[in-house]
Structure 1
Amino acid sequence: MVVLKLQSAQFFTAPCEIRSRKRGNGQKFSRIIRCGIAEASGEPAPLGQKTKYNDGPFEKVFMTLFAKKMEKYANSKEQTKKIGWWDFLYDYERFVDASKRVMQGKNRMQQQLVVREVLLSMLPPGAPAQFRKLFPPTKWACEFNASITVPFFQWLVGPSEVVEVEVNGIKQRSGVHIKKCRYLENSGCVGMCVNMCKIPTQDFFTNEFGLPLTMNPNFEDMSCEMIYGQVPPPFEEDPVSKQPCYKDICSMSNPSSSLCPKLLA
């Protein structure tokens, strides 16, 4: 069953391919569409450019579900123009816009609590306890979760791959290297990366699921490394706590501050 699910997920997250071929009298075409990253190179765009994606129904459903749950905590009404196959489906721009509106008027801890509530609301009752039983913090559990992160979360963070890491002196394939994080790339905001993704995701896996997770974003190239099995450091000891804004691309940046203002409170 696991193999079948992974294969299904990979179909929806593979690079976009559109193939047409004649059939019958040559007037009709059958078309195969796979959606995901749509760059000609198959790789994320260079830093400073936004990577092109071709999202399918699978991706848009998840974007819509997450965004609508986050909008319950937003302080302002949606202003982004509706784009998509149907009005009720969100595209990635609207998903990121929902995150930005959640940040407004909330401090760092409040933003993180919103994400925790959203994540819990996506799960059936008792799911964290069941997860703890199925996936105790063993090498196998860490490697398994790394392997399913790649196909199931490509819609959110972009292309990634499982890599070998060292956890407590033991080498294991429980690392996930995100080549260029789609969320960071589209938001252009350090605070959103840290408060709406890194910290709440780490805390959720570590404290709710009982499976330690550390995320190390690289703000130089927008890549990120996820390490299952590694306990995250306290925020005050994490290098991200000293990270300045993307002054040229973040609409919420404070050019006069040496730190991202969203990390200060």
Structure 2
Amino acid sequence: MRKAVLRWLVPWASLMLALAAWEAVVRMQRIPPYILPAPTLVAATLWANLGSLLPSWWFTVKVTGLALLLAVAGGVLLAVLFAMSRWVERALYPFAVVLQVTPVIAIAPLILIYVDDTLAALLLCAWIVAFFPILVGTATGLKSADRNLRDLLRLYRASRWQTLCRLLVPSALPYFIAGLRVAGGLALIGAVVAEFTAGAAGRETGLASRILEASFRTEIPRMYAALVLVSLTGVLIHATLGLLARALLGRWHESETRPGDGL
């Protein structure tokens, strides 16, 4: 119980100390709000503008979630094809690498030109960013199955489908979860960056548009409030995927078992 309490207390205590130091510096140095607002002012601004920020937050969450689901579907399917056929991997893997190494902010304007629907364009940009970690993680996991177990299944004349379901998928699950946790944050980054590039405005837009509007009007506290919502969304995604990892791996895989405090 004591270890569990400390595990939760230490991060929250460090966060509170950082916010207190930020507040103290702003007050002692008398920094104007249009340069650096205090955390209390950011919190008050967030509360006052919550009604207008929540629809934009939900739009960003929707784009991020859909892009992540599409990345999971496409990444897992392609990784399975790679595991089943080396020729498919050699033919398609270079295209995946090109998508990964090309900055999304560089190709977002082209996507926005060729795709008429803004929501579809934002989804495509976020999907490109989130796709590669899932593909690489799952493909690496599928290739990391124990060779002795592969030989055993071959000895018992298991079909390729049986080998995939009973050996390769359980072996790949920790790698897939690791890629998913990376892709969750990248999907959010891709959605926000794509909307920055689009410069969209109106009611059906995300938090990036609210940040742009606040910066154009030099409403710095409101801009910080929108940034706080983006950061909290990323933390929520990370925590949710961490709970998923604990639920799927906590009973059997070393990455989620905690016999002691570690180093």
More helix by share: 2
- Give the structure-2-normalised TM-score: 0.28
Larger Rg: 2
- RCO higher in 1 or 2 (8 Å CA, sep ≥ 6)? 2
More strand by share: 1
